[in-house]
């Protein structure tokens, strides 16, 4: 847990895995959990615009300081996982099951 500790009450039903922010802008949906390795400050703007529930950085990657500052301003949760994107998404999908399917 890096930022947004008091915003962990949002229900997360689905997730999205992508490191291309243009792709996230095009395809991520409101309320998604976003799994990425990108730590640049732009992730906060993208997550806020899209109404993303939280960002999870994988492989233990730490957000840049400016990213943390912006996330605090936006009250956006950023979490860090030591898992790879594949392992993290797999575990979350197992938890969410078919509810996590888009269609």
Partner 1 sequence: MSLREFRADLHIHTCLSPCADAAMRPTAIIEEARRRKLDMVGIADHNSAENVPAMQAAGRAMGVPVLGGMEICSSEEVHVLAFFDDDDALFAMQEIVYDNLIGRNDEAYFGEQRLIDEHDAVIGATDKLLIGATLLGVNDIVGSIRGLGGLAIASHVDREAYGLISQLGFVPQGLLLNALEVSWRCSPADAEAYRGYGLELIRSSDAHYLSDVGRVWTTFRIEAPRIGELAMAFEGREDRRVSI
Q: Are 53 and 32 in contact (CB under 8 A)?
A: yes
Residue reference for tokens 């233990």:
60
> Smaller CB distance to partner 1: residue 64 or 81?
64
Residue numbers 33-72 binding partner 1 by CB under 8 A: 38-42, 45-46, 64, 66
CA pair distance 77, 67, nearest whole angstrom: 11
CA pair distance 79, 67, nearest whole angstrom: 12
> Smaller CB distance to partner 1: residue 42 or 82?
42
Site pattern 1..40 for partner 1 (x: CB under 8 A): ------------------xxxx-xx------------xxx
């Amino acid at each position: 847990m890096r930022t947004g500790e008091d915003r962990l009450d949002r229900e997360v039903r689905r997730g999205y895995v992508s490191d291309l922010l243009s792709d996230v802008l095009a395809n991520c949906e409101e309320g998604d959990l976003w799994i990425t390795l990108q730590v640049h400050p732009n992730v906060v703007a993208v997550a806020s615009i899209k109404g993303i529930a939280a960002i999870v950085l994988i492989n233990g990657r730490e957000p840049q300081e400016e990213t943390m500052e912006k996330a605090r301003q936006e009250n956006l949760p950023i979490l860090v996982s030591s898992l790879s994107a594949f392992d993290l998404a797999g575990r979350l999908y197992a938890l969410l099951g078919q509810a996590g399917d888009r269609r």
